[in-house]
Every structure is written in structure tokens, then in C-alpha cells.
Amino acid sequence: MTGEREQGRAREVLRTVFGFAAFRGQQEAVITRVAAGGDAFVLMPTGAGKSLCYQLPALLRPGVGVVVSPLIALMRDQVNALRQLGVRAAVLNSSLSAAEAQEVERQVRAGVLDLVYIAPERLLTERTLALLDGSPLALFAIDEAHCVSQWGHDFRAEYLQLAQLAARYPGVPRVACTATADVVTRREIVVKLALTEAELYVTGFDRPNIRYHVVHKQNTRQQLRTFLRSEHPTDAGIVYCLTRRKTEEVAEQLREDGFTALPYHAGLDADTRQRNQDRFQREEGVIVVATIAFGMGIDKPDVRFVAHLDIPKSIESYYQETGRAGRDGQPADAWMLYGLSDVALMRKILAGSEADAVHKRVEQQKLNALLGYCETASCRRQVLLAYFGEERPEPCGNCDTCLEPVETWDGTLAARKALFVVRGTGQLYGVAHLADILTGADTPRIHEKGHHLLSAYGKGKELSGKEWASVFRQLVAMGHLAVDVEGHGSLLLTPTGLAVLGQQETVRLRKDPLPHKERKRKRLPAASAAMPDGPDAAALWEALRTLRRALADEAAVPAYVIFPDATLREMLTHRPQTLEALGRLSGIGERKLARYGEAFLELLHGFAGDDAPVRRVVGFAEE
């Protein structure tokens, strides 16, 4: 049966070329379909392993796999990484000289490449299309497919032209990939890329290796320093700030505190920006302190933390920005400082923007949802995923509220009152007015609408307007209320909200943090706790990183291209003493074993540890 044979071949390539023991999630389903000539639309979060979904079938099918990717720097890194695995890959973009480009074109035509990465504008030239017409093609992969969406911030006009690939190359399977969560963009991609025949593969948006923390802001500099020194003393990470000036100040402070920190914002000249980004991408342990201008084009898999010193403007932004941490699947932290002053500032920025009134209101509501997230007493991951319409029955055990539960109160009655007033006013009003009704405020609007006549009027005097606002925000965050994005910022009841109203569910609310009293904080177990301890573990870890660095410099590639952190960590844990044992670790395929095995083994021999003799015996026994 071809199906089974394809599957067997796919697993073989996964093991020997990529060095992985098993497929993740839906990778195998996608790969089998594409290898058999079908189209696929792959919607998976960052770090899920989308690249393999087109790289591997390109190796299984005859001809070259054409990858359309929007960013030249990323193409180069991907191609470097593939070559390290022994895959025949090349780029075709404006960074090549005419002669170099001609050589790549010759190889495409001759069918001696497995993969070629092409920028969209180049792909659509007559010259390239003519080249593809006369070449054996394995597949088309359209990476970052959301770039086709005119409403998104990554819009690329050339992506709209990619639909013509369907008509021009009907027999060539196409794979589109994106990490974009929302349903509207998803539909737009299917239509604009003519993917109606494509099988859809969606995995949840959870990023289980990211640990979420939200910390009450007291002394930014000191809190950041403490966090970094205790959790990430030598790691690469991103620190987000709201203003350009602050990025420079914080970078300066971090340098004074002994970290390698560089600023990044749109006000720096292009050269400096590029240089700082390159250093972040290629060196180890560099911290970039940035405005949100730093984002698109960051494809560093070993970012160990993303810190927000100011709140982002929405949960979408937060998810996207924190999502740059831990792409390699290893433990990473998303750490945010949250203070009421930020909220005021963010509101002011949103209110002062160019957007029209409707748009502004939507932005305000999105900010409110983010605040609900900050204030939640339940698992942060549950709140985050609920916002994207994903239900998660159990708390995650890997966020601050799971690890260190906050004080809560029984808010069931308050929640019912809040939901009741939403329903009683026809789901037409926003938080401020609803809170006014509950507290029995005497405003012109109350009288104009006749809301002083409602039975709910003045029935919530036990809480202040601010506290009611917090109740409403928490209800939005819990998914019991939704924000009407159609235009008015009104709150709408959801099915779970109705359940609360119908007394089927109790609601616990978070107590407002005490701003003045110093709250005692237990230290959470470090996200990087997977690191085995032992007398020489730290020394071996540093030695492994140094060796990787040296090999990377020699090959002029970023360190993670040699081996990802996950592989080094396995070396640290298992301390293999034979080539064969080394080759069994995740991320070590045949080519890399041949190329780097001896060097790492030599190092590992020096760190055999106390129980090494036992391991050696096992190693010999298996040989």
C-alpha cells in the first residue's frame, strides 16, 4: 500500500535527516497528504513545527520544493540550517549576484535541489515562472500565508498574486502555513490563495512551554534585574517597552548591570537596527530592548524570555509578542509588569490615535480584555486560550496563578448582578454606564435612558464603580461576557454567561492587589528547572555552548543551526559516551553526527561524571 510505504519513508527521513524520533501533533498527517499530491492549509502556533510540513514532503517527492517566504534574512537562516542537515537547499532572492542566481536557476532546472526559497516578488516575474515551467516541481509552500490579508499588519501585495500558482501548476501540491489565530483571516487566506481543495490542519494555540507571569509593577529596574539574574543570567531575550526613550534607558541600565543589551526602535537608523538585530540573531545571550517595531523577521528559536515592562495594547499583541519566546519548545518565560499608570497611558495613546470613534472603542475594549487577563485569579493560559475561542478544561500548572494562587472572593452574586444588568439593558451598553446603574449613579445618561427605573438600579452599592469595572473586565476575560466588536463597545452575554445567570456556575474573582504593602513573593521554581543539577552541570553546559559557538563561527551560521538548546540539554542529561548513543539524541541526524559528533564526544568524555562507567557499559553492550 502506497500510504503505508509513504509513511514509512517519512519516518525514516525524519529520523536520519532531521534526527527526530517522532512526529509532533499533525505533522505526519500533513506530510502524508502533501507527499501524495494533496493541498494542505496548516494553522499551528509558532514553534509547532510547520517548516517540517513542507520540507519533508519536498524530500519525498521528485523535483524541487518551492518555498515562498516574505523575509530574506529568514530564508538565509533556514537554508543554512537545511544544508547542515545535508539537504540540498538554496535561496533565490535579491541578495544574490546575477551569476549566483543563474547557478541556482540551473540547479532548479536540473532537478538537483530539494528546496528553493524564493521571495514572492521574484517568484512572480516572467523569468522565474518560465524557469518553473521547465523544471520538475515537488510542491509549493507558502509560508506566513497571512501576509495575503489586507487587514493584517504583515500585508504583502505580491501575496495576492500567488493564487495564480494553482491555475498554472495544477498538478503541484501546495501547502500554506500560518500562526495567525483568527477565523476571518483564515477564510481570507483560503479564498485569496485558492485553497478550497486544501485539507485544513489546525492545532490549538497553546504554547505549553511558555510560562506566563504578570507582576505588579513597583520598581521596574530592580524587578527586571532580579528576574533576569535569578532566571536568565546568560539567556537571550526581548524586553518590550512602550516608548523609544525608555528602550534606550533600559538597555543602558541593563548594560550597567552586566548584561549584553541593545536597543531597537523605529527611530534608530536602518544600519544600527540591522546590526542590533543581527547580533541578537547570531550571538548568544543578547537582550534586545525594543518597542513593538521589533517583531516581524525575528526567527530566533532560542529566545528564553520575553519581558513586557509596559502592557501591550491587546491580548492579540501580547500573544504575538510573547510567542517569540521558546520557539524551540524548551522552557521560556513571558513576564509582564503591570501597573495602573500604564493603563492610563495606554488609554491616552489609544484615545489620541488617528482612528475613528468606532475603531477607538474597539481598541479600548481589547485593552480591557487584556486587563482582565492581568487581573485574573484563574489559570492565565485558560484565559488566554478562551480569548481565542479555545476551551481548556484543566488549569495548566505552568503560570504564576497556577503555581502561586492569588487571593480571591466569591464573586458569584456580583457576577450575577453584572450579567443581569447587561441583559436588562438589552446588551447595548459598555462598562461605565453599567457600573453607573449598579452603583445608582445620578448621571444625565441614566435619566435620559430611564435606567433609574430598572430594578438593578443602585443594587450594587457594596462595590465602587472601579470595582464593578474590574468585575466586568474579569467577566470578559472569563468569557462570560463578550465585547461587541461591531462598533459600540457594548457587552454581550455568552452561553457561559447565561449559565452563571442561571445559577449553574459559581464565579471566583481576584482580589485587587494591595499597591502599598510590600507583598511577600515566594520565588517560583525557575522555568529552566529542566536543567539537571550536579557539581559539574553548569560547567558542562557552558562548555557545550562554547563548543557550539566555535563551530557556528567556523560555519558562519547562528549557534542554534549547529544544535538547538534542546539537543545540548539532552547531552547534558544523558552524557553519551559513544557516537551511537550521541546519535540517538533528538536533533542529531546522520549528517550532523558525522560532522560534529566527534567534537562533542571528546568534550563529553571529559565530563563523564560519577556514573559514567555504568553508562559506558550500557554503551558497549548496545554496540
Enumerate binding residues for ligand ADP (CB under 6 A): 20, 23-24, 27, 44, 46-52, 301, 327-329, 564, 586
Asked whether 565 and 527 are in contact (CB, 8 A), the reply is no
Pick from ligand ADP, Zn ion, none: which does 422 bind, CB < 5 to 8 A by kind?
Answer: none
317, three cell numbers: 499583541
> Which residue is at the shortest CB distance from Zn ion?
379
Least separation in angstroms between CB 560 and ligand ADP: 8
Distance CA 213, CA 336 (A): 6
Dump the DSSP string for 100-144: HHHHHHHHHHHT--SEEEE-HHHHTSHHHHHHHHTS-EEEEEESS
Q: How far is the CB of 403 from ligand ADP (least distance, A)?
A: 25
CB nearer to ligand ADP: pick between 119 and 446: 119
Cell 528564553, residue?
Answer: 304
Q: Choose the contact partner of 381 out of Zn ion, ligand ADP, none; CB within 5 to 8 A by kind.
A: Zn ion
**Residues at the contact surface with Zn ion, assessed by CB under 5 A:** 379, 381, 395-396, 399, 402
Query: With respect to Zn ion, which residue has the nearer C-beta, 396 or 557?
Result: 396
Residue 402 CB, nearest approach to Zn ion (Å): 3
Residue with cell 543570567: 233
Residue closer to Zn ion (CB basis): 373 or 607: 373
Residue 407, all three cell numbers = 487571593
CB-based contact 530:583 (threshold 8 Å): no
Nearer to Zn ion, 326 or 489 (CB): 326
Q: Out of ligand ADP, Zn ion, none, which partner does residue 433 contact, by CB within 5 to 8 A per kind?
A: none
* Nearest CB to ligand ADP, comparing residues 55 and 439: 55
CA atoms of 571 and 85, how far apart (whole Å): 19
When CB distances are held under 5 to 8 angstroms depending on the partner's kind, the choice from ligand ADP, Zn ion, none that residue 152 binds is none
Cβ density class 193-209: b for 16+ within 10 Å, e for less:
bbbeebeebebbbbbeb
Nearer to ligand ADP, 23 or 472 (CB): 23
Q: What share of the chain is helix, strand, coil (3-state, %, to 5)?
A: 50, 15, 40
46 binds, among Zn ion, ligand ADP, none (CB under 5 to 8 A by kind): ligand ADP
**Nine-digit cell string for 3:** 500510504
Q: Which is nearer to ligand ADP, 30 or 385 (CB)?
A: 30
Rounded to a whole number of angstroms, the minimum distance from the CB of residue 143 to ligand ADP is 8
C-alpha cell at 218: 513597583
Closest distance of CB 208 from Zn ion, Å: 10
Partner interacting with residue 47 (select from ligand ADP, Zn ion, none; CB below 5-8 Å by kind): ligand ADP
Q: Which does 366 bind (CB under 5 to 8 A by kind): ligand ADP, Zn ion, none?
A: none
User: Partners of 213 in the beta sheet?
Assistant: 335
Q: Nearer Cβ to ligand ADP, position 177 or 399?
A: 177
Q: How far is the CB of 517 from ligand ADP (least distance, A)?
A: 42
Instruction: Report in angstroms how near the CB of residue 545 gets to ligand ADP at its nearest.
Output: 17
Query: Rg of the Cα trace of the chain?
Result: 27
Cell of 368: 480591557
SS3 (DSSP) at 66: strand
Provide, rounded to whole angstroms, the least separation between the CB of residue 20 and ligand ADP: 4
- How far apart (Å, rounded) are the C-alpha atoms in residues 378 and 384? 11
* Sequence-ordered alpha helix ranges (H) in 125-216: 126-133, 164-168, 183-192
| Sheet of 305-308, strand order | 210-216, 332-338, 305-308, 237-240, 286-290, 260-264
What, of Zn ion, ligand ADP, none, does residue 565 touch, CB below 5 to 8 Å by kind?
none
